Amino acid sequence: MASIAPPLPSRLAWQRFTAAQRLARFAVYVVLVAAIAASLRSVEIIPEFLYDAPEQMVDLFSRMWPVAWAHYPKGVHAALLETIHIASLGTLLALMLAVPVGILAAHRLVPSTTVNWLARLVLVASRSVNSLVWALIFVGIFGPGPLAGALAIAFRSVGFVGKLVGEALDEAQPGPIEALRATGAPWLSVLGFGYWPQVKPAFWSIALFRWDINVRESAVLGLVGAGGIGMALDAALNLFQWDRVALILAAMFAVVIAAEIVVTQVRKRVL
Amino acid sequence: MWKGIAESLQIAVLASALGIALALPFGLLGARNLMPPWVSWPARLVVVSARSFHPVVVAIVFVKAVGFGALAGILALTVASIGFIGKLFTEAIEEISANQVEAVRATGAPFASILAFGVLPQVFSRFIGFATYQLDSNLRNSTMVGIVGAGGIGGTLFAAFQRFDYDFVSAILISIIALIMAGEVLAAAVRRIFIENATLGQLFRPGTPASHERHLEDD
């Protein structure tokens, strides 16, 4: 340790990335900073509203307290159950719709690029439209109520589930599938005995994950009239009954936590 | 309408920046393999409660607190980002290999150096994935928080729906979908640059298979 080696000339020094790679990374940083700066400069924030934010928060919490627990059996319980029903039925319907589309999107199962692209287009379209927008559309078609909500949840989830199922199918090990093909098994048997056992854990885990998300999403669909606890929330908000709003928020929180516990337990026991 | 779309974009960018910046410390503090339980549990509680409400519900509360407009949307989506990134970041840190952390620790490095050289390089590529995904998801939600008055195109959309002005609705919807798809392309480009070390030239050259990511997961 008597002498420390002098620094290498930069030409010889090891560099992790090539100049072009560093340029690409630098470009991302520049775009990022530019986007943040541009947004900060042009975003419209009304300072008068900001100054009295603390007062408004205090006002909000004082109106929310005491929470109107007494209102629960009459006004919230049924809506809460309806929310869970919307989420569960929507997820079930989404699974039924997503599996065929996911199969069509998987290139190894359906070796036609046109069909793959069409299926992928369906999935992307489903995912690009927010569940609230789907709800607005279905409320327009079927009128307000849980049917619109369940369909909105289903149509929003098809894209998510279908994409993940398609990816899982594409990632399946080719060994068992080739073995089945070699026996002359028909397409359905290849699907049922070659692919299904391989994607089964992924499929159930995707389904559980989506159900968990849907419980959260179905809670707000009522804001646009698509049934569930969101309608109770909307009514309480419009009447400035903040103590009922607090009750509904507490109920939503409890349901979301309960759903999460259910999902982790099921995952631990079954998968 | 363009004003609404621009406002949605601003909300998405600012909420992602703020949310990711705030989510990192919470995600780090919540990792049970680095932090004692009395630190990790409160941090996890913050993250779980940030995640348990839909952004639109959070936006309602912020609209009351800071008034109508973009700020309520930014704050609501920031909370959502903390919940999502915080959770995934915690999980990523809990899955790292302990060898590298121990090696850095064995050199007598202080805690900050252990984080910077032992922990963060292991989760960096996954972090890029979460961050781009979150920007994407904030973009989707920023077009929606307007329904409760928190700025962006959502307010215009909802008003058009209530006026049965469906041709304007479809114009807005098509713009939103185009915006989200552009966001997805951008996010994919960022992922390729940081995770697959692509150069700017390679981004425009199709045909290079995206098999690298799968390879990363196998390791």
B141 contact residues in A (CB cutoff 8 A)? 130
A61 interfacial to chain B (CB closer than 8 Å): no
The CATH architecture that domain B2-218 belongs to is: Orthogonal Bundle (1.10)
Q: Identify the CA nearest to B34 among candidates B153, B115, B135.
A: B115
The CATH number of the structural domain formed by A70-270 is 1.10.3720.10
* Band (B117; pLDDT cuts 50, 70, 90): confident
pLDDT at B217: 30
Alpha carbon separation from A41 to A152, B10, B122 (Å, rounded): 37, 10, 35
**Stretch 216-245 of chain A: residues touching chain B, C-beta under 8 Å:** 216-217, 219-220, 223-224, 233, 237
φ and ψ at B96, to 5 degrees? -70, 160
- Predicted TM-score (pTM) of this structure: 0.80
Q: Provide ipTM, 2 decimals.
A: 0.74
Distances (CA, A) of A125 to A139, B138, B185: 19, 17, 15
Q: Which amino acid is at A152?
A: A
Q: How far is CA A88 from the centre of its chain?
A: 15
- Give, to the nearest 10 degrees, the angle between helix B166-195 and helix A131-142: 160
Q: Name the band, by pLDDT with cuts 50, 70 and 90, for residue A9.
A: low
Distance from CA of A135 to the nearest CA of B (A): 11
Cβ of B70 and A40 within 8 Å?
no
Instruction: Using an 8 Å CB-CB cutoff, list chain B residues near A124.
Output: 181
pLDDT digits (tens, 9 = 90+) for A13-55: 777 777 778 888 888 888 888 888 888 888 777 777 777 777 8
Chain A residue numbers touching B125 (CB-CB < 8 A): none
CB pairs under 8 A between A and B: 128
SS3 for A47?
helix
Angstrom distances, CA of residue B161 to CA of A140, B60, B154: 9, 20, 10
**Nearest chain B Cα distance for residue A184, angstroms:** 30
Q: Are A3 and B179 in contact (CB under 8 A)?
A: no
Average pLDDT over residues B171-183: 87
The neighbour count for residue A218, using CB atoms within 10 Å, is 33
Contacts of A245 (CB under 8 A, 6+ apart): A64, A233, A236, A237
